[in-house]
Amino acid sequence: MFILKIFYNIFIYLLIPVALPVGYIFAYKKGEQDSYFERFGFIRLKGEHKKSIWFHCASVGEVKSIKSLVDEIRSVYPDYSVVCSTMTATGKSVAEDYLRPDEAFLLPIENSIAIKYLIDVLNTKIFFIVDTELWPNLINSVHKRCKLCMVNGRISDKSFKTYKRFSFIFKPLLHKFHKIFVKSTADSEKFSKITGIKDNIINSGNIKFMQPTEIILSKSGEILQNRKFFLAASTHNGEEDIIFKAFNQCDSKLDHLVIAPRHINRADAICSRAQEYGYQCGKLTKLDTAGNFPSVIVVDKLGSLEELYYITDKIFIGGSLINIGGHNIFEALQFRKYISTGSHMQNFQEIMDIARKYDVIKIIKNVDDLVEYIKNDYDKSSNFDLFFQKLKESNKNKMKMILKEIPDENSSKTNQ
């Protein structure tokens, strides 16, 4: 392992002379050159900090997922500064606007010297890695200087095979975490199988389910909100045919079918498939904003889903009719929308169980089930009151588990 570490760091240092100028060119083209050199440790801090809590997030999704946690920390531990590092310039920008941390910067990637310096100068007492970001030099540097924890830890079925195959690399890294807070029981089992221990792995659920989104409609959104449409979100190959067949029986009730594939590079293939079913099809970015929309609209850009959830009442969330494990249903449920999914939702088991208990979700097994869901109107307003109350209680318990790990050096707070 020691030899592997040496070769890894030699590779990093050999890569820098090439990566620095090439990376700057790409950053300049994106207008991100101002913060580019932060990636190499050239970071100007805003001020001095008596003690801090540092969150490292990959990008925008991870930043948004910790909003409620950061708010709670500020309430319970106001003497701590909040620090946020990200892997992307967009993530940093969102962090500054959304979290308003005391410090925000791009992570000096695998720069042990810079990481150690920042931990010391920021007086970091606890370092949270959000999601499963396993950078060896980062982890090795942090765990020697302060408490290291993971929140929203998750390992997909596909990644698990890689983690197991290279467990001689990942096992020592995961052992350096004081606590690993995972999203689900399945994730807890996967982490345990890799590390060989269970004591420091805690199923806290997904803290991403804590913060609703504020929606500002785009031009196409303003037009679509006056139309009746069925939204099939985060779909995978093998699900669209069921959706087209259901829409074929419901198109008199609807103005449009909107499909937002999980992978937008499938947009052309889905348009071709729609045409085989006899429908006119167009991409969201190519629509005539005057409102002359085709029957089937395929979403071909990122960042549109929550806007679409907000303006329609008929929603199917994919990755669930086939055994992918499902996708985030809170993004739609937050708007009090009675949604539908398939039965394969193991990646979001906790919130799925609560949603089913309070009947704010319909399980689809076939075309007939989907047709029934689309054609019928449902009043679930009272159900949503109970659903959100239960979700709030669950989230409060998650907060308690995580906040217990924060060193409280100057008071006797009990994290109520």
In the chain, where the domains are located:
25-211, 219-377
For residues 297 and 259, is the Cβ–Cβ distance under 8 A? yes
Question: Which pLDDT tens digit goes with each residue over 245-265?
Answer: 999 999 888 999 999 999 999
pLDDT of residue 346: 86
CA pair distance 126, 128, nearest whole angstrom? 7
Low-confidence ranges of the chain (pLDDT < 50): 411-416
Looking at residue 17, the DSSP 8-state letter turns out to be H
CA pair distance 14, 19, nearest whole angstrom? 9
Q: Count of CB atoms within 10 A of residue 323's CB?
A: 13
The second-level CATH assignment, the architecture, of 219-377 is 3-Layer(aba) Sandwich (3.40)
CA pair distance 84, 105, nearest whole angstrom? 7
| Integer CA distances (angstroms), 393 to 39, 210, 333, 354, in order | 39, 11, 16, 11
Closest CA to 271 of 258, 281, 285: 281
Class of CATH domain 25-211: alpha beta
pLDDT of residue 210: 61
pLDDT of residue 305: 92
Q: How many helices (H) and strands (E) does the chain have?
A: 17, 14
CA pair distance 53, 56, nearest whole angstrom? 10
Q: Do domains 25-211 and 219-377 have the same CATH topology?
A: yes
pLDDT of residue 410: 55
CA pair distance 331, 369, nearest whole angstrom? 22
What lies within 8 Å, CB to CB, of 318 at 6+ separation is 232, 233, 234, 235, 236, 239, 262, 324, 327, 341, 342
